[in-house]
Structure 1
Amino acid sequence: MTVSGNHHTSGNNKESFLNTIASKLGRERRHEVQLPDIQSLLPDSYGSLTQDDLIDILKEQCFFIHTQVIESKPEILQRTLDDLIEANGGGSVMTSGDPRFAAYGLKFPGSFAWEEAAGRELNIMRAESANTAVIFADYALAESGTIVVESRPDQGRSLHFLPAHYIAVIEKERIVLRSTQAAAALNRRVQAGEPLGSSINLISGPSNSADIEMKLVVGVHGPLSATYVLI
């Protein structure tokens, strides 16, 4: 593809360009734009759906995206995760630096946590060599079987894509119907002045790829398997 023209547009050229667009639209130039309140655009509730209904929707959708769903409780979460790691073949484990690991008393001997102090290259190397990654989901979207996770200093993006197996722990109250509810929650954090990660990742099960004949292959560009643990 060939693109012609000067990409270093001056301020005057920018104003002229925008004035021309406004003229073509038959209106005056707008110099100030009032952004809509995102909360006013979203439903306040799911209608008759309860949190248990959302769990049922999530479970059903996960069947179609080749993702295992395991239900657990806080008091047996460690044992549940240990069993899943063993079922994955053991090996090295990498976790995020999420404070919820400490809150639930989770420990994985010999594992590595994504640490800002370790530096980007070492963290990526550890993620690449890990057999299983264990993380906590920020949100889960029931309708699509998707988890929402931030990329931040204690949880780099590579942690979600380089290990062979992926385990996401989902707290029941973090399940919402679809992306609009997760976006609203993130927007509330922005309005409250809280920092957000460098990117927001939406992950729906293990890596899936289909060729021109639509033959599904799992694990080509990411984890071979994904498991959601509901607590």
Structure 2
Amino acid sequence: MTISNREAFLDNIAAKLGRERKRDVKRPAWIHHVHQETLQGKTTEELIDIFKKQCALIHTEVIESTPEALQKTLDGLIDAYGGGPIIRSGDQRFTEYDLTFTGDSYIWQETAGREENIRRAASANTAIVFADYALAESGTIVVESRPDQGRSLHFLPTHYIAIIEKKRIVPRSTQAAADLNRRIEAGEPIGSCINLISGPSNSADIEMQLVVGVHGPLQATYVLI
């Protein structure tokens, strides 16, 4: 990445402030650590309880399952949503958990091309993904955009199912961001876009009347394993 006019820009700011430009800048120490202390020390089970209570407030159902029963749980949800078409990400965890879907099922894949993937997402009844993180404080899942999981996969289908492994639950966005930063510093690949999704789309812009599903899935379900 090329940075243009940085020196002139910073010199101009210093001049407007009426002082010499500071070149040796140290990051100030935190006085308060609320961002780190919130929900600190909670066990995984306690975080799950907080997560479920928050999901109840954002119109999102949480279903608890097990790796062994996951296929049956997903099949039941798909039937309840009215069947296919189904679109899922190419996440390798679908293979690890031995998940297969019959009928009209499609896997988001880079080789299919952008337009075909988006067309499939727009016509899908249900999308199924694995969450990269889940935030207990807000009932939010965090998902990365990757070649095997584009942004449209999360927003165009009518129904949305996110599978959450318990180990992926963290107190809040602070911990998710810290882990993403650790991965970046370790040279690990990171998605081109990080989406934080809190249940189905909601809007109360017009006369403070809540409407669900205006610009995204009508229903969202989290399957906790």
TM-score by length of 2: 0.90
Is structure 2 residue 46 aligned with structure 1 residue 64?
no
Distance 1:95 1:33, change over 3 A: farther
Q: How does 1:152-191 map to 2 (within 5 A)?
A: 152-191=146-185
Residue 17 of structure 2 corresponds to 25
Q: Relative to 1, partners in 2 of residues 1:91 and 1:168: Cα closer, same or farther, differing over 3 Å?
A: same
* 1:22 shift after superposition: 1.0
Q: What 5-or-longer segments of structure 2 have no aligned partner?
A: none
The residue identity in structure 2 corresponding to 1:154 is: D
Aligned: 1:146 with 2:140: yes
One-letter amino acid of the structure 1 residue matched with residue 98 of structure 2 = G
1:43 positional shift: 3.6
Once the two structures are superposed, what CA deviation does each residue of 1:78-114 show, in whole Å capped at 9, x if it has no partner?
0000000000001211000000000000000131110
Count of residue pairs brought into register by the alignment: 218
For the residue of structure 2 that corresponds to 1:70, the secondary structure is: strand
- Indicate the percent of aligned positions where both proteins have the same amino acid: 70
Whole-angstrom distance in 2 between the partners of 1:35 and 1:133:
43
User: 1:36-64: CA deviations, max 9, x gaps?
Assistant: 899xx774894331110100000000000
In the alignment, what sits opposite 2:210? 216
1:94 corresponds to 2:116: no
| CA displacement at 1:33 relative to structure 2 | 5.3
1:133 aligns with 2:127: yes
Give the deviation of 1:28 after TM superposition: 2.8
CA distance in 2, matches of 1:60, 1:190: 32
Question: 2:108: which partner in 1?
Answer: 114
Distance 2:125 2:29 in 1: 43
Q: Which runs of 5+ in 1 are unaligned?
A: 1-9
Instruction: Please give the secondary structure, in 1, of the residue aligned with 2:150.
Output: coil
**2:69 matched to 1:76?**
yes
Distance in structure 2 (CA, Å) of the matches to 1:166 and 1:109: 18
8 Å Cα contact 2:122/2:157 also seen in 1: yes
Contact 2:135 2:141 in 1 (8 A): yes
Q: For the aligned residues, what is the CA RMSD? A: 2.2
Displacement of 1:212 in angstroms is 2.8
The question of whether the paired residues in 1 share the 8 Å contact of 2:40 and 2:171 is answered with no
1:185 match: secondary structure = helix
Paired position in structure 1 for 2:118: 124
TM-score with structure 1 length normalisation?
Answer: 0.88
1:192 pairs with 183, 186, 211, which one?
186
